[in-house]
Amino acid sequence: ELHYADRLNCASALLDEPIGRFGADRPCVRGGDTAWTYAQLRRHANQVSAVLTGELGLVPGNRVLLRGANSPWLAACWLGVLKAGGVAVTTMAMLRAAEIATIGALARPTIALCDARDVADLHAAAIRGLRIVPYGGDTAGDLTARCSARGDDGGAFTDVATAADDVALLAFTSGTTGRPKATMHFHRDVLAIADTFARHVVAHRPDDVVTGTPPLAFTYGLGGLLVFPLHAGASTVLLEHPSPDELADAIAAHGVTALYTSPTMYRALLAPGRPERLAGLRRCMSAGETLPAAVWTEFHERTGIRIIDGIGSTEMLHVFISAADDDIRPGATGRPVPGYHAAVVDDEGHPVPDGRPGHLVVQGPTGCRYLDGDRQENYVRDGWNVTGDTYLRDADGYFWYQARSDDMIISAGYNISGPEVEQALVGHPDVVDCAVVGLPDERRGMLVTAFVVLRAGAPSDENEIHVLQDHVKQTIAPYKYPRAVRFVDRLPRTSTGKLQRYRLRRQGIR
Ligand code: 3SK
């Protein structure tokens, strides 16, 4: 069992402990033209805390919205918010105004720290009472300038002595309905994911150089690319939306030893000319969607590396089932991470016999606490977190993924809500009705596919497909757009008008 002090600020621990063990001049974080040591990251985080609590008037418990691509400054902002006793609400730079507005309405942040390149949509979201401070730009009032104006004195901030179970962050997950859900995580939870998955499965070393693709706004990225490297005294390379070639180049150029990404990227890294650039890797982690055994095997044959697959969730903060090294069974997700318990149960919550599919439930040092209380009782039952995934456990205790129990589409590592894409599509005047489902796809795992009923007289040609795709990209985050669009005369519905998605999925597979 894990024990933490009653008073615990995880951001202080993540910086002070490695500095105490390995010294302050150790390389810590790189990104773009920036390369900071542990001392420099701590100084910038302290400057952010000082600006927040000084001129911006933050008091402990206030929520601070963070918006930007992965970068050293985003890391400094995240740590600075937590050191100041604030609650970090990290959002993806790709989100559009309407999506940010929804998050703003739920999280009610008082301050936003936003990459200067991404402020337009945040302003357009018009979140009531929100003070927006850009960083990394050149305007007066930019956070970066405010921090340098504080000089080294800003680096002497005294961290707020938060309680171990004070909320440190709100993480958003988009539900099947497209209505985002906010989950709350404590300071101790942030250390618990490092003391379980990172310590016992990944087994980071202080000389690791870590990189990867998930945004820090996704808890898979927050853990893998920031919390775990700091906890181990290692260093991290934060890349902004790298293409497969950019990722392979960065791995070679920075001597990266540990990679966090998704099956889609592992597949892409196998293309000619790329595996040679991966020679320095010793640990490769995969999550966000299931890793097909074929990808695991091909990656192993070409690079000698055994990918560590895992399932986690925003609700649980990070990975709770996984396996490494000789414990891996390709195609299986693994076994419960030390500290977690998992079971497969029927609709009534009773365990099903090994070898039979059922609902995956999990317990451990982290767990789901929805901000919006009425959802809690559906997710946590009898102390078990009901993940919404269908799994089976074999006689050796390995867990094998079967399907999502709901309508989420998991495409190239992104969780995309079909109903949310539908809402965006029906906002176009040519669309009378539509349904969006995920169809199996070799490259992306699932392909976001829209079945669209057009208004009479609207053209049903290639150009119209592009028009509708562009419309979705303008309305919601572009990665959610339907990559396949099929025009149909009507959608399959029950007599009460309920959409029968399973019929579309079947139709798509034919
Ligand atoms: O999708 C996952 O498996 C995952 C892993 C770690 C953290 C968060 C998530 C959703």
What ipTM did this prediction achieve?
0.97
Q: In the predicted model, is pLDDT for residue 187 greater than 80?
A: yes
Q: Decide: 182 in ligand 1 pocket, CB within 6 A.
A: no
Can you give the pLDDT at residue 176? 45
Q: In the predicted model, is pLDDT for residue 244 greater than 80?
A: yes
Q: Decide: 368 in ligand 1 pocket, CB within 6 A.
A: no
Which residue is closest in CA terms to ligand 1's atom 1? 288
Can you give the pLDDT at residue 509? 47
- Ligand 1 atom showing the smallest separation from residue 310 Cα: 3
Give the torsion sign (CA, 420, 118, 75, 110): negative
Can you give the pLDDT at residue 188? 98
What does the alpha-carbon distance between residue 18 and residue 28 come to, in Å, rounded to a whole number?
10
Can you give the pLDDT at residue 510? 40
b or e along 312-344 (b: 16 or more beta carbons within 10 Å of the residue's beta carbon)?
Answer: bbbbbbbbbbbbbeeebbbbbbbbbbebbebbb
Can you give the pLDDT at residue 402? 74
Q: In the predicted model, is pLDDT for residue 167 greater than 60?
A: yes
Q: Decide: 287 in ligand 1 pocket, CB within 6 A.
A: yes
Cβ(374)–Cβ(380) below 8 Å: no
Q: In the predicted model, is pLDDT for residue 311 greater than 90?
A: yes
What does the alpha-carbon distance between residue 281 and residue 296 come to, in Å, rounded to a whole number?
15
Longest dimension (CA), the chain: 70
Q: Decide: 112 in ligand 1 pocket, CB within 6 A.
A: no
b or e along 402-439 (b: 16 or more beta carbons within 10 Å of the residue's beta carbon)?
Answer: eebbebbbbbbbbbbbbbbbbbbbeebebbebbbbbbb
Q: In the predicted model, is pLDDT for residue 235 greater than 60?
A: yes
Residue scoring higher pLDDT (12 or 492): 12
List the one residue out of 175, 263, 182, 171 whose CA is nearest residue 217. Answer: 171
Which residue is closest in CA terms to ligand 1's atom 4? 312
- Structure tokens given for 491: 């959608």
The pick from 311, 391, 401, 409 for probing ligand 1's pocket by mutation, whose C-beta has the most ligand atoms within 8 angstroms, reads 311
Q: Decide: 154 in ligand 1 pocket, CB within 6 A.
A: no
Q: In the predicted model, is pLDDT for residue 377 greater than 50?
A: yes
Can you give the pLDDT at residue 501? 78
Q: Decide: 312 in ligand 1 pocket, CB within 6 A.
A: yes
Q: Decide: 319 in ligand 1 pocket, CB within 6 A.
A: yes
Q: State in Å: Cα 221 to ligand 1 middle.
A: 9
Q: Decide: 314 in ligand 1 pocket, CB within 6 A.
A: yes
Q: In the predicted model, is pLDDT for residue 405 greater than 80?
A: no
